[in-house]
Amino acid sequence: MALGLCRPTFGRLAYAELVRRTTRSCLDVADELGCRSLALPAFGTGVGGFPLGDCARIMVDEARIFPAESLEHVIFAVYGSEAHEAFSSALSSPPDSSPLAGGS
């Protein structure tokens, strides 16, 4: 028997939308539960192979525009210097308006 890993072949924009929706869903659930803080990993950047920079911009922008009621802190719990740099850069940049970020 042969075993192998098969990665979904989403297009880059489709994967960006998946990262955006996942981030938003996590924010929604945490806020609905009355959480004051939430830690999130860099969605899709491991086995999924989604670029860290794109992921960071999307996730940070979603957190910025989220209309929180109870949620006060969003922590991006990332691993490694490349991920740390990508998220630090996204956090220090103005909101993104590229198609990957979903801006208009």
Q: Residue 55: what pLDDT?
A: 96
Domains held by the chain: number: 1
The C-alpha atoms of residue 46 and residue 59 are separated, in whole angstroms, by: 15
pTM (predicted TM-score) = 0.81
Give 37: exposed, middle or buried? Use CB within 10 Å, 0-12, 13-18, 19+: exposed
In a domain, 25, yes or no: yes
User: Whole-angstrom Cα distance, residue 30 to residue 32?
Assistant: 6
Which tens digits make up the pLDDT trace of 43-55?
Answer: 999 988 899 999 9
- CA-based torsion, 37, 84, 94, 54: positive or negative: negative
The one-letter code for the residue type at 76 is F
* DSSP SS3 for 52: helix
Q: Could you tell me if residue 30 is inside a domain?
A: yes
User: 6 lies in a domain?
Assistant: no
CATH number at residue 85: 3.40.220.10
The pLDDT of residue 103 is 45
Q: So what's the pLDDT on residue 95?
A: 77
* Arithmetic mean of pLDDT over the chain: 86
